[in-house]
Every structure is written in structure tokens, then in C-alpha cells.
Amino acid sequence: MKKNNIVLVGGGSTWTPGILKAMTTHLDAFALNRVVLYDIDEKRQEVIGEFAKILFKEEAPEVELVYTTDKEVAYKDVDFVFCQMRTGGFDMREKDEKIPLSLGVIGQETCGPGGFAYGLRSIKDMIEMVKDVRRLSPDAWILNYTNPAAIVSLALDKIFPKENKILNICDQPVNLLRSYSKLIDHDVNKLEPVYFGLNHFGWFTQIYDETGKDRAPELKEIILKGGFRPVDAEQRDQSWLDTYAMVEDMLTDFPDYLPNTYLQYYLYPEYKLSTSDPKRTRTDEVRAGREKNVFAECRRIVENGTARDSKVVHNDAHGDMMVEVAASIANNLRKTFIVMVRNDGIVSNLPDDSMVEVNASLGSNGPAPYAVGKIDTFYKGLIENQYAFEKLTVEAYMEESYGKALQALTLNRTIGDAKKARKVLDALIEANAEYWPELK
């Protein structure tokens, strides 16, 4: 089996320890030669990088581990790029959440005006990353997790239309599947989901088990009777528990399919707004929780010189999935994953150039998506509205157009009012002056 050279972009991310741990536990499936951690923030990178050296010395001593802030080192001769950057960091995520909330609309990392603002920041850095990678590693696979993945994937598809080695993926479907598997006490690896939609905007239509039986009806009944909690509820902050609980409401109103949790912001914007605190948002929870714990634990491990007793770097859906996706491509396994691809007729009554999130078999020639066919009016209407928002957002960036930005935000279901959209847009322009193109 070929041994791969990997670069993890956003090497100082809170998710990096878990991904590295997953790499060390999947070496039989995904062989490694060299792992480079790359970040633009030297301090963050050093803490996680020193931890990584200990982890790899203990769990995978044959693999070379390097960390750097030099992109010439990072992108040279790699087979796979795992990309998970956050342009503007948590300081800007906080503004994405708090500015809209202070103006009376939803403030969220990837949905509504927060996702719009984050999107305009991410696109620039993502274009630069793709160009750098292609200069230094023309054949590398770029596996992107950077959010807002819906907008990033659409922008990259428009800007690099001939690229066939960029794949955008989200871990939310796999994480939901793990939670369903717990509800019916079934091995998650034996469940086969069928899914359609846009990223953070989709539905599971069936959940087949190994006998071919669709378990979705049973799952819906269980959730409608007893609610829904994530598989790792003990490790979740309150906002994620509230989010999962909303699945019961969505199923009560729209019982056809099992919804992605992110649909709560589009279906119940007024309720979500009324239960949000503009002074304390998800960013505050992450800073006080995951970020603080991950960095403290990495420092502790470095001080002790061993990672063997560590809990923070445990595997979850995120790390496992990233490595399994890479393994399926590297070794032409053609396993099925839910990924983002250009529609091109997969959902036959949606625009060809939308980036849909659907099942695909994943091998060395990339994703081979499965056809979905026609979707019903309610779902088509919701998706077309959201897709128009995403497309206008990307066009606003590419054409540096204030008018398109205003159209995008006016269309978004979390706003739906042009005067509100203009207020939020103007406030976000001011906050993002350092990151966005000038919108004229």
C-alpha cells in the first residue's frame, strides 16, 4: 500500500488532535509517510505541533511529523491536503453571530448572515490555498472541511471549474447517523443512509440496515415519542442539545424525512431568535469549552511527555470520517459517503450548477454520485431559495457587488426583509473591512 504525504491546513485547529489520533488508528487502511501541520498562527501551531510529535512518537514512530507556518514547506510534494481553516478565527465568528443577533436576525456560524460573512472571508483564503497547492503538488487531492462548506464548495467550483481533485465534505450527516444508530441500538457501520440536499440543508430519505429494511420510519417514531439526543450527549454543550431537540419539532411539522439539524434556523427563525442571547453565543461556549480544553490538554501532554493517558484527543465522527474518506480515494475502495458534488442532473429538478450533498461512491477517480431523481415541491422550493442565496453570495464576492450581496441576504429565509438585510449587510461590511473585497 502506498504511503501518503499529508498536509493538514489549519494545523492549529481545535479538531487537529482528534484527526491526528484517527490517523494513528487507521494506519492499516491509510498508510502514512509524512504528516505536515500548517497554520498561519505560529502560537496555536506550536502547541498542537508539540503535542503531535509526542502522539506520533508513541503511536506511529515510522511517520515523519513536521509542523510549520511556511506554506512552501507545507504544500510541497503532498498526496492529500486536509483543509480546515477558519479565516478571521473565533474573533470573527463571534461577530458573525453577535452582529446579526443585535439587529434582530439569526446569528450562526454557517447559516444566514453569519454564514454569508464567513463565506466572503473563506473564499479568498481558499482560492489562495488551491493555487499554492497546485503550484507545489499538482496531483494532490484537496479534501476540504472549511466552512461555510456550501458557499466554499460553490465558489471553488465556479473559480476552478476544471478541477477534479477537490472534494468538500461535512461530518454532520455521519454524526447524525451515529446518533440514529444509538436510538435503534444498531451497528452504525451496517446502516446505509440515503440523503439529498445542500450542505447543512438536507434530509435523510431512508436509513437501510444490512437486511435491506428501511429503519427511517422506526427512527421517526422513536424521535416523535422520546425526542432526540446526540450520541455523544455527555460531551455536548447545551446549545447542541437544544439543536438536536428541534429535530422532534421538524418531524412533527414535516414528517416525510429525517432533517439535518441546521434546518432549524430556516424553518423556525423567529423561535431560534427568541431563544438566542446576543451577548452569549456558540463562540463563547466553544472558547470556554472545546478550545480551552484542547489547548490545555495539549500543553499538559507536552509537559508530561506522553499522550497515552489523554481523553481530549479521543476519536469522534469527525476524525474517523476524514481519514476514511482519504483511504477510500487512496486505495480505490469505492465506499459510499455523503459528499458535495456539482448537481449535473443528480437531483433532476434542481439547477445543474448547484453543489448538492448526496451519496457517492468514492474511489481513486473521485466521487461517483448516485442519482436522486425528482424531489417534491416543498423541498425543491426550500433548496432553490437557499441555492439562489449561495449563488448570489459567490457572485457578490467575484463581482465585488453590493447589489448582489443585498439580494443574497434579502432572499435568505433567516432574514426575508430587504430593510433588515441592508442593515445587517452594512454592519457586516464594517466588521469585515480587513477581509472582504470592497463591495461596490
Ligand X SMILES: O=P(O)(O)OC[C@H]1O[C@H](O[C@H]2[C@H](O)[C@@H](O)[C@@H](O)O[C@@H]2CO)[C@H](O)[C@@H](O)[C@@H]1O
Ligand Y SMILES: NC(=O)c1ccc[n+]([C@@H]2O[C@H](COP(=O)([O-])OP(=O)(O)OC[C@H]3O[C@@H](n4cnc5c(N)ncnc54)[C@H](O)[C@@H]3O)[C@@H](O)[C@H]2O)c1
Residues 6+ apart with CB under 8 A from 234: none
Closest by CA to 167, choosing from 337, 332, 399, 341, is: 341
Residue 91: how many other CB atoms lie within 10 Å = 8
Q: Smallest distance, Å, CB 348 to ligand X?
A: 27
Closest by CA to 139, choosing from 65, 190, 80, 58, is: 80
Contact 351, 314 (CB under 8 A): no
81 lies in the binding site for ligand Y (CB under 6 A):
no
Check whether 93 is labelled as a binding-site residue: yes
Residues 259-318 that bind ligand X (CB under 6 A): 282, 286, 316-318
Q: Is 171 among the residues known to form the active site?
A: yes
96 lies in the binding site for ligand X (CB under 6 A):
no
Q: Smallest distance, Å, CB 202 to Mn ion?
A: 11
Q: Please tell me the distance from the alpha carbon of residue 36 to that of residue 228, in angstroms, as a whole number.
A: 39
Q: Smallest distance, Å, CB 315 to ligand X?
A: 10
Q: Quick one: what does residue 307 bind among ligand X, ligand Y, Mn ion, none, with the CB cut-off 5 to 8 Å set by partner type? A: none
Check whether 299 is labelled as a binding-site residue: no
Q: How far is CA 316 from CA 21, 35, 175, in A?
A: 10, 20, 9
144 lies in the binding site for Mn ion (CB under 5 A):
no
Closest CB to Mn ion among residues 199, 432: 199
Strands (E), 218-262: 258-259
> What x-and-dash track marks residues 167-186 binding Mn ion by CB under 5 A?
---x-x--------------
Q: Please tell me the distance from the alpha carbon of residue 179 to that of residue 162, in angstroms, as a whole number.
A: 37
Q: How far is CA 256 from CA 226, 244, 263, in A?
A: 18, 18, 14
170 lies in the binding site for ligand X (CB under 6 A):
yes
> What x-and-dash track marks residues 135-164 binding ligand X by CB under 6 A?
------------x-----------------
Residue 303: how many other CB atoms lie within 10 Å = 9
Q: Which of 4, 5, 24, 87 binds ligand Y (CB under 6 A)?
A: 87
Q: What is the CA radius of gyration of the chain?
A: 21
Check whether 170 is labelled as a binding-site residue: yes
Closest CB to ligand X among residues 386, 407: 386
Q: Smallest distance, Å, CB 407 to Mn ion?
A: 25
Q: Please tell me the distance from the alpha carbon of residue 297 to that of residue 308, in angstroms, as a whole number.
A: 12
146 lies in the binding site for ligand Y (CB under 6 A):
yes
15 lies in the binding site for ligand Y (CB under 6 A):
yes
Q: Quick one: what does residue 84 bind among ligand X, ligand Y, Mn ion, none, with the CB cut-off 5 to 8 Å set by partner type? A: ligand Y
Q: Smallest distance, Å, CB 174 to ligand Y?
A: 9
Kindly determine how many residues on this chain lie close enough to bind Mn ion according to the rule CB under 5 A.
Answer: 2
Say whether 45 sits in a helix, a strand or coil. Answer: helix
Check whether 413 is labelled as a binding-site residue: no
C-alpha cell at 236: 455536548
Indicate the Cα dihedral angle 131, 136, 142, 148, nearest 10°. Answer: -40
Closest CB to ligand X among residues 172, 354: 172
Closest by CA to 415, choosing from 107, 200, 94, is: 107
172 lies in the binding site for ligand X (CB under 6 A):
yes
121 lies in the binding site for ligand X (CB under 6 A):
no
41 lies in the binding site for ligand Y (CB under 6 A):
yes
Q: Smallest distance, Å, CB 108 to ligand Y?
A: 11
Residue 182: how many other CB atoms lie within 10 Å = 14
Check whether 147 is labelled as a binding-site residue: yes
Residue 174: how many other CB atoms lie within 10 Å = 20
Q: Smallest distance, Å, CB 256 to ligand X?
A: 22
Task: Provide DSSP, 307-375.
Answer: -TT-STT---HHHHHHHHHHHHHHTT--EEEEEEEE-TTSBTTS-TTSEEEEEEEEETTEEEEPP-B--
Catalytic residue among 39, 96, 125, 171: 171
84 lies in the binding site for ligand Y (CB under 6 A):
yes
Contact 52, 32 (CB under 8 A): no
- Residues within the interface to ligand Y (CB under 6 A): 9-10, 12-15, 38-41, 44, 84-87, 89-90, 125, 145-147, 149, 170-172, 318
Q: Which residues are annotated as catalytic?
A: 171, 262
- Residues within the interface to ligand X (CB under 6 A): 109, 147, 170-172, 175, 282, 286, 316-318
As annotated, the binding site for substrate includes: 93, 147, 282
